[in-house]
Amino acid sequence: MSVGELAPESGSVPELWGSAPVYLVLADLRFSPVQLMSKYIDEIQELMRQGGYPEYKKGDVTRLFFGERDGQEPELERTDRWVFTNSADTSQFILTTSSLVFQTTEYCGHESFFDQTIFGAGIIKGSVKPASMHRVGLRYLDAIWPTAEHRVSDYLNAGLVGIELSQPFESSFSQSEYRFDLDGIASTLVLRVFQADSTLRLPPDLGPLDLELATRFQYEHGQRHCVLDVDHFSESISNFDSHLIRDSLSKLHGKIRFAFLDSVTEFAQQQWKGGDK
C-alpha cells in the first residue's frame, strides 16, 4: 500500500508500517472556475490560519495551454495561486481559481489525511461556493532507497525494473508509465516509475517542493534509487460536497493500495513493515 498500511485482516484496523516509504501525498480537487477568487482570499486566509495553517504567500503558476482547434499554437497561461502552510512546513494547501491541492510530507494514515483535505474543501465551499466539482485525485510518492547490500530490483517487481544492460551501459535515469482505465469507479490510475542516480527528488511535473521532508528521507548523498508514483483520479461533474469528495477519495485510495502492493516485492514489504518510524 503506497500509504504504508497493512491490509485489513478479519475486520482488523489497518496499521502503519514501521518504515513506510511514502514521502509525499497529494489530494487534488478541481472545480468550476472562480475568476474573482482573490475577492475571498482574506476570509480564506483567516480560516486557514485558525485551522493550523498560519503561513501564507501568494504567487503564480504558468502552464502550457493547448487550444481546441487543429493547428492552434500552444500558449502559456498564467494563473494566481495562494499557498497556506502549517508552522512545521510539513503540510499545505495550494489554491488557484479552479483547484485546491492538499499535500503533506507528514503522512499519518489516510483517514487523518482525508480529514485535512475535507477541512480545506469546507473552507472553499463556505467562502466561495463553487458551482460544481470536476475532478478528484489522489497521489502517493514512495521512495525506494536500497540499503548498501541491495538493489532497486530487490524491491520492485520484475515487470517494473526495466532494461538492465551490461557495463558500461548503466543508465543514470529511466522513466516508465502505465495507465489503467477502471470502469468500476469511472477513473484512471497512472503508475509511474522513476529510477535515477541522484538525491531524492520530485517527478518533473510537480516542480520544487517547499515542504520539509521527514528525516528518514533527507539523504545526504545520492545513489541509485526509485520513486514509485501512483496517481489515481476520477473526472466527472458533481456537486461540490464534502461527503462526495470523501467518498471519492476512499474509492481512489483502495485501488492505489492494490497498485502499490502489486508493484513491490514481498522482500520490500517485510523491510518496510519491520523498520523503525
pLDDT of residue 161: 85
Look at 8-12, 84-88, 93-97, 129-133 and tell me which has the smallest mean pLDDT.
Answer: 8-12
Q: Is 20:4 a contact under the CB 8 Å cutoff?
A: yes
Q: Is residue 10 part of a domain?
A: no
What is the mean predicted confidence (pLDDT) over 78-84?
92
Q: Is residue 43 part of a domain?
A: yes
pLDDT of residue 166: 59
pLDDT in tens, 10-50: 333 334 677 889 999 999 999 999 999 999 999 999 999 99
pLDDT in tens, 221-271: 888 899 999 999 999 999 999 999 999 999 999 999 999 999 999 999 999
Give the pLDDT band of residue 1 (cuts 50, 70, 90): very low
- Residue range of the domain that includes 103: 22-66+74-274
Give the pLDDT band of residue 165 (cuts 50, 70, 90): low
pLDDT of residue 69: 61
pLDDT of residue 277: 36
In 19-90, DSSP assigns E strands to 22-31, 55-65, 75-85
Q: Is residue 11 part of a domain?
A: no
Q: Residue 91: pLDDT above 80?
A: yes
Higher pLDDT, 159 or 190: 190
pLDDT of residue 60: 85
Give the pLDDT band of residue 170 (cuts 50, 70, 90): low
Q: How far apart are CA 102 and CA 95, in angstroms?
A: 9
Q: Is residue 15 part of a domain?
A: no
Look at 86-95, 166-175, 190-199 and tell me which has the smallest mean pLDDT.
Answer: 166-175
Partners of residue 231 on adjacent β-strands: 139, 190
Query: Across the chain, what does the average pLDDT equal?
Result: 87
Number of folded domains that form the chain: 1
Helix (H) or strand (E) holding 127: helix 110-127
Q: How far apart are CA 34 and CA 31, in angstroms?
A: 9
Higher pLDDT, 48 or 276: 48
Q: Residue 73: pLDDT above 60?
A: yes
Peptide bond into 168 cis (omega under 30): yes
Q: Is residue 157 part of a domain?
A: yes
Q: What is the pTM of this model?
A: 0.87
Q: Is residue 201 part of a domain?
A: yes
Question: Computed over its alpha carbons, how large is the radius of gyration of the chain?
Answer: 20
Q: Residue 163: pLDDT above 80?
A: no
pLDDT of residue 15: 47
